Amino acid sequence: MENDELFQTAKELFDADKYAQAETLLNQLILQNRKSPHVFQMLGTIYYDQGKFTKAIRAFRRAIEIDPSFTDASLGLSIILNDLGKYEEGRKVFEEAQVMLQKKSAEDDPYVNEKLALKHDELGELYVHYNRYKEALDQYFKALSLSTRRPEITMKIVDCFKTLGEYDKAFKELRDLIKQYPMFIGARLKLGKFHFEKGDVIAAIEAWEGVLERDPENAEAARLLKQAQAKDLTSFNEIHPN
């Protein structure tokens, strides 16, 4: 039986209160190095049900060592300690579990994440204002990890890389952004400008034609495309004079 299949079977047996069968499979998982907090938490619960408190405490503590934010194991451990009369220790474990639960809830809260992202974004702009682009990049990447405003923040990252002369990184960020958001016109416009500035007129033309395919009325793309086509024609005439 494959590792994942074994875990799923053990969990189903555990959920069905078939603890003896589940225990056998869970111990097999540990022997196979599947040492997840869920495995030890289930074993801790089984040992508690069997009255094997020392084993249960050890299993719950192992689950918490693997993942301190795994509150199911913390609460299980707290209950056993209280049952054994270790009220102060049980209270401490419970309070730590509450703190981790609150922290986890905050980390998973989109509103909180967006507020924090906004602060990192603002700090990034402040660094840019003082020409401290490396520090700005650090803040923008932190904002990016928290925010749903990926296109907007990535464009700021691209500008920082360009200013620092790191064109390869700027190009990569733009290409990745376009791949993820193919209808984001701003990224395609900027990619064309980068190509044009680097002297790759054909690539610039392709980028701006891509904009007009998606937004035929885009005046900026039309203007830039006309400029690039004129330059391309001039270059062709210089290479192939009549």
Domain boundaries, the chain: 3-107, 110-239
Residue 88 pLDDT:
86
Written as tens digits, the pLDDT of the chain (242 aa) is 456 788 889 999 999 989 999 999 999 999 888 778 999 999 999 999 999 999 999 999 999 988 887 888 888 898 899 888 888 888 888 888 777 777 766 666 787 788 888 999 999 999 999 999 999 999 999 999 988 899 999 999 999 999 999 999 999 999 999 998 888 999 999 999 999 998 899 999 999 998 999 999 999 999 999 988 887 655 434 433 44
Helices 110-129 and 133-146, axial angle in degrees (round to 10): 170
Distance between start and end Cα atoms, the chain: 76
Residue 111 pLDDT:
78
CATH of domain 110-239: 1.25.40.10
Residue 152 pLDDT:
95
Does CATH number 1.20.1280.50 belong to domain 3-107? no
200 exposure class (CB count in 10 Å sphere: 0-12, 13-18, 19+):
middle
Residue 241 pLDDT:
42
**Shared fold status for 3-107 and 110-239:** yes
pLDDT tens for 198-233 read 889 999 999 999 899 999 999 999 999 998 888 765
